[in-house]
Structure 1
């Protein structure tokens, strides 16, 4: 079994995993969470016309004086109800936020700093040309690329694309990710526990992680330690799904049949990835479906999915160069233990102390500790060469609320 660093593992996946080729056309309202399969061209300028950024008074910049100056109000403009006509020197209009700035005007002064008496409006010194005007096409120009292929659509994209008149988009279809468990010792949570049995917790977690990542989970159930039944399940999953995930069952143990099934019906690249918790990792293909074998330990399985497999699935779904979203936080304690040689994803809790974002360990960092994963709200990313951590050190963290953004 090969030994590879975390960075080497990600580099391998970037060349090994290729995006699923199938695309579909979806209405914009039904495209949230899908990945764009082609560049989007804007149908119009954004903004569509020069408009006011606030309530105030609009006029031409030729009227601006070093000191205060007075203009004559000749009308008004509201959103959807523009001023009809062209402003001449010495004139201004009352204008509301979003209203079209009329011909002859290029500057808006907010209402709070002007004084008016009848039709005469006095402006203070210091007015600047073009202020408080959103100019036509300053964000996007008609015919230009407004979003590039490979972007996963979020709510902000819905707003943006609707604003430029996009009705439908070409996207990669949502991945189907099959998963199953193997082992005579496993039972479902609906069953009564008995001697020598354990609950099949990983299968419930894997399903949830697949859904959280934005993919469609397909549950193939639980297989006993029987090579023919595992083979039947793997081959069925390979036909119906884009990827297959299992946990445990891919080591060189006597009853680890999943490994032999994958090798006999596809290809398997397995190694020890130098991450904690984690390490055992199997990557391969069965027919056209990618295969990912996670460690059997529940916490290690979660870390390996989030740190490695989720990125591979995002690449498979069509995302361009997916990465974990990291931010910075100060170590809030001296009890983060780390030795060089492994990349660690410690479970942490982000909190604010004296105006600074700090992170502390979320309880036990033992591989088998499950409670700390529940109490954590982030991973503390400690690179391979990182040694001991001291309070006040600046660390990278991966918020659980930003894993897939």
Structure 2
């Protein structure tokens, strides 16, 4: 059985391709001080303003000399002492050496540095044993980066380590995409805020806070519209507000086929739905499309389905809007420690925890079950056990493919 035996179900790879082909990064950019740009996405290639290293310098505390002078085996008199931040205004005299510290500029004529552990000081000068190789312990101007070289490409998420690199090549600010604005809400009369007393039939609204936390990790601006009741006009107003204020609208619930699931119908009225059913488990009911001004992703309401489809579908959409290229989850072959229930027809993303045992990558199922309502299956997981659409049940000891959690869920 293939996905086409289940009418209207779109394979995940095709869904991602169709979605990402339509999305483009937000157009507005801004210049930020480098120290304030961590987590932001470069809008253009970032180029070095100076060479790195800026000048020829010593990689060691030791003695700088001309290699041909050291080869004589004679002690060399010390011409000068050079510390980091200082320089010698005269060339190195033939037959001499300089005492030099790490990072100090080499004087003209100096081509080699001998570490101080290999130098023997005496009244006649400094002798060296063993003799250094030509050019030893020297950092030459521009050997790391040259002025004009691309330091970071466009679409790069700036990390703390990048701050040091950017400043070292003479930059003080960087051009980045503005933050993506995302409106998020949950729909359902049964949803109640944490800490309230639940009446019969009510549950706590966990999806929306969970999504908010994940969105915070992505570094976007979040407009939290709260819980919207299962009432068409209230949902229309929520979508209208989100459409005017955000780049992407993410809803949780209401995209299935229940009598009170109005979200998909309202999306069809107010915009264009590109697809709304995926050949995956959990998370078959998922709507993607466009309102007049904003894109939307309508996630299913079951907690695991919400978080898994956010990770697999919404995150790639958000990253594209941010200006990043799509980065598929890393995959790994493993041996299943458990028998896995699976029916052909949909790709199944069961939650698992992988580890290396006896030199073999092995994975076990997590949680008390793999139902779309069982959040415990995610809390101990570090991967998805990605079972192919056409695959049936898996026996313990069979090979499976893992999709490893990235920094969004890890």
Q: Report the TM-score when normalising by structure 1.
A: 0.88
DSSP 3-state at the match of 1:36: coil
Question: For residues 112 and 393 of structure 1, what CA distance do their matches in structure 2 show?
Answer: 55
Check conservation: 1:72, 1:120, Cα contact below 8 A.
yes
- Which of 252, 260, 264 is 1:255 aligned to? 260
- Superposed CA deviations along residues 214-265 of structure 1, whole A, max 9, x for unmatched, are 1111111111111111001101011011111012211232222111211111
Q: 1:85 to 1:36 in 2, by over 3 A?
A: same
- Which of 236, 242, 258 is 2:241 aligned to? 236
In the alignment, is residue 15 of structure 1 matched against residue 21 of structure 2? yes
C-alpha deviation, 1:323, in angstroms: 0.7
- Which of 297, 322, 326 is 2:326 aligned to? 322
Question: For residues 222 and 282 of structure 1, what CA distance do their matches in structure 2 show?
Answer: 19
Check conservation: 2:118, 2:130, Cα contact below 8 A.
no
In the alignment, is residue 207 of structure 1 matched against residue 193 of structure 2? no
Q: 1:383 to 1:78 in 2, by over 3 A?
A: farther
C-alpha deviation, 1:179, in angstroms: 0.7
Check conservation: 1:277, 1:367, Cα contact below 8 A.
yes
In the alignment, is residue 100 of structure 1 matched against residue 105 of structure 2? yes
In the alignment, is residue 76 of structure 1 matched against residue 81 of structure 2? yes
The equivalent of 1:281 in structure 2 is 286
Check conservation: 2:331, 2:403, Cα contact below 8 A.
yes
In the alignment, is residue 58 of structure 1 matched against residue 68 of structure 2? no
Check conservation: 1:324, 1:403, Cα contact below 8 A.
no
Question: For residues 170 and 183 of structure 2, what CA distance do their matches in structure 1 show?
Answer: 37
Describe how 1:179-198 pairs up with structure 2 within 5 A: 179-198=184-203
Q: 1:394 to 1:55 in 2, by over 3 A?
A: farther
The equivalent of 1:5 in structure 2 is 11
Check conservation: 1:328, 1:396, Cα contact below 8 A.
yes
The equivalent of 1:370 in structure 2 is 375
Question: For residues 271 and 153 of structure 1, what CA distance do their matches in structure 2 show?
Answer: 34
State which drifts further: 377-386 or 243-252.
Answer: 377-386
Question: For residues 397 and 263 of structure 1, what CA distance do their matches in structure 2 show?
Answer: 33
- Which runs of 5 or more residues in structure 1 are unaligned? none
State which drifts further: 209-218 or 252-261.
Answer: 252-261
State which drifts further: 337-346 or 107-116.
Answer: 337-346
Q: 1:336 to 1:98 in 2, by over 3 A?
A: farther
DSSP 3-state at the match of 1:179: strand
The equivalent of 1:246 in structure 2 is 251
Question: For residues 55 and 339 of structure 2, what CA distance do their matches in structure 1 show?
Answer: 55
C-alpha deviation, 1:384, in angstroms: 5.4
In the alignment, is residue 334 of structure 1 matched against residue 370 of structure 2? no
Question: For residues 156 and 133 of structure 1, what CA distance do their matches in structure 2 show?
Answer: 24
The equivalent of 1:25 in structure 2 is 31
- Superposed CA deviations along residues 24-73 of structure 1, whole A, max 9, x for unmatched, are 222222211111112223211111111222222222333454x9775433
Report the count of equivalent residues: 401
DSSP 3-state at the match of 1:2: coil
- Which runs of 5 or more residues in structure 2 are unaligned? 1-6
Q: 1:275 to 1:64 in 2, by over 3 A?
A: farther
In the alignment, is residue 45 of structure 1 matched against residue 51 of structure 2? yes
Q: 1:159 to 1:300 in 2, by over 3 A?
A: same
State the Cα RMSD in Å.
2.9
